[in-house]
Structure 1
Amino acid sequence: MSALDTSTNYLGFRSHEVLARAAGDLLPKFHLSTKVGYFPGSSGAGHCLDPERLHTAVEEAARDLGREPDLVFLHNPEHSLTPSTARSREALAKACAALDSATSRGLCGAWGIATWDPTALPPLVDASVPTPSTLMVRAGLLVGAGTLDAAEALMEAWGLGTGAMWGMSPFGGSANAPVWARADPRVFLRDGGGYSRAQAAFRVAYQLPDVSAVAVGTDEPAHLGELVGALDAVPEEQAVTKYRTLLRDRLRTQSV
């Protein structure tokens, strides 16, 4: 494990300073990604796609971390989009251009999009919107068919290849949520008996959708170590495919 992912707004907008202080000289040894898009306000965190604020946020991230991030995500751009497709496309294009410019200036190694709900984004992507290097989306058994399909459509719209999509929130918020006591995700592994339910849910998240990395919290080192041990597990492809079909059938039924 040699990658760290954080965000400007974590820990009350202190995450970069805390990480730099805790990691010290070890920080350059990690692939480091962060996110910009949320800003402190009088009533809490607010979201903004203003290009100048985003560019400044990348500058501040590099300063507070004590090094340039390897990757900076535009955080949940859907939160500041309007019902107007034309205005939303223009806002997205300008925000992406700001991160593209920051990358060109050497303030970060690359830039991407981290989106909790990508459903509004695929129709907005055209030649006016710069192409990110990486897309981060929700992944796992608790993600609905609409979100999974939208993530894949967004990858296709930007022409991103295999390995360019990352996953997040594989447990839907908590590995201790009641759902994981009721459902056994080990049925999606070829040798599920050798792993815990948390390990199985984590490993299957790499298939829903097809992602090359999955971000998880680091609050419990023992839990993190357990998840790393699941990477050797082999998913049962037919079971995952059938599950995707069931999700789509359920979505169609709800839409009728």
Structure 2
Amino acid sequence: MSAQLAAGTYRCRDLSRSVSAAVDAGVTWIDTAPNYASGSAEASLRPILDACPQVHVSTKVGFVPDTDRQAARAGGVLPGDHDRGHCLARPYIAWQLARSRSRLGRVPNLVFVHNPEHGCTDRTDLSQTLTEVFEELESAADAGGIDGYGVATWKGLSTGMFTAFDLLELAETVGGPRHHLRAVQLPVSLVHLAVVADGLDGRGALAAAREAGLDVFASAPLGGGELLGAMTEDLVRVIDSETSPAQAALLVALSAPGVSRVLLSASTPAHWADACGAAAREPLSPDRLRKVVDVLGT
């Protein structure tokens, strides 16, 4: 099954315009977080979600938006020793989930634990943190407060702080065979080709996630926009000579083994039309992906 495009909202300049264009283009998943758009992302999405019940939404727990800090302190859910801009204490998670549901106007389909490696000193520390987080998320799922959960990381999987199998084992320990762990989110792009190369060889984060039965949300497929300026004619030709530079870059993430959804922040209908053109193409073959890896290295 080919990966699908989803609307990402990180560093989105005009969130409502971008996501509206994505939905108009047929995108059916939006990914956000309480700390995006200076704390306004979730509330900005509500009119779109209200008008489009068929669209799924994922949000996150962990980071403390400046706009929420005072309210969290007043509610007694943000202890002073956790006030480092990131908090995964159970009271704060429960408080943040309730706030997200109110702002989004619905139960989120997925809630990602946002960069759980943040502030953890070692694997033991991280495992203890995730155990408490998974307990809270399993409780929320059992109560109908979320549909499922996952882990979104920038470097936790690539540095070996944890693996997809670690997450699955922990979820089964906490939630049993009917646990609600559903997905992981990590960067996959021409900038992060090592994860693609490992996936092609049947190892690494992508292969482990697939074996664990987890969906993979690929973040930053255009390298935060920096890739567009680096897409030379020669590089586009190596990937797919019949595509635009943006399409060629997106095709790498869309074709990476095990990837389910590719999160894109695109601001205009024209940009989304271009992106959808990439998603409509045949995925790059493993041999073509290996050629890209050989040309660029990891």
TM-score range, shorter chain: 0.7 to 0.9
Does 2:286 align with 1:232?
no
Match of 1:97 in 2: 135
Match of 2:76 in 1: none
Q: Distance in 2 between matches of 1:218 and 1:126?
A: 31
Match of 1:121 in 2: 162
* 1:1-256 matched pairs, under 5 angstroms: 1-21=27-47, 23=48, 25-41=50-66, 46-83=85-122, 85-117=123-155, 118=157, 119=159, 120-122=161-163, 125=166, 129-130=170-171, 132-145=181-194, 149=198, 150-152=204-206, 155=209, 159-161=211-213, 164-174=215-225, 177-181=228-232, 184-188=235-239, 192-234=240-282, 235-244=284-293
The amino acid that maps onto 1:92 is: L
Cα drift, residue 93 of structure 1: 1.6
* RMSD after superposition: 2.8
* Length-normalised TM-score, structure 1: 0.81
C-alpha change, 1:183 and 1:160, in structure 2 (3 Å) is farther
Q: Distance in 2 between matches of 1:5 and 1:52?
A: 23
Cα drift, residue 25 of structure 1: 2.9
The amino acid that maps onto 2:133 is: A
* Length-normalised TM-score, structure 2: 0.71
Show CA shifts across 1:29-63 (max 9, x none): 21111112101247x98112212211221111111
Cα drift, residue 244 of structure 1: 4.4
Question: What is the SS of the residue equivalent to 2:150?
Answer: strand
The amino acid that maps onto 1:178 is: G
Question: What is the SS of the residue equivalent to 1:39?
Answer: coil
Q: Distance in 2 between matches of 1:240 and 1:59?
A: 42
The amino acid that maps onto 2:141 is: T
The amino acid that maps onto 1:39 is: V
C-alpha change, 1:212 and 1:147, in structure 2 (3 Å) is closer
1:88, 1:124 within 8 Å by CA — same for their partners in 2?
A: no
Q: Distance in 2 between matches of 1:126 and 1:70?
A: 19
Identity between Structure 1 and Structure 2 (%): 29
The amino acid that maps onto 1:152 is: L
Question: What is the SS of the residue equivalent to 2:65?
Answer: strand
Cα drift, residue 219 of structure 1: 2.3
Q: Distance in 2 between matches of 1:124 and 1:82?
A: 20
The number of aligned residues is 240
Where do 4+ consecutive residues of structure 1 move more than 6 Å?
none
C-alpha change, 1:38 and 1:209, in structure 2 (3 Å) is farther
Whose RCO is larger (CA < 8 A, sep 6+)? 2
1:8, 1:14 within 8 Å by CA — same for their partners in 2?
A: yes
Q: Which segments of 5 or more consecutive residues in structure 2 lack a partner in the other structure?
A: 1-26, 70-82, 173-180, 199-203
Q: Distance in 2 between matches of 1:215 and 1:94?
A: 28
The amino acid that maps onto 1:88 is: L
1:48, 1:80 within 8 Å by CA — same for their partners in 2?
A: no
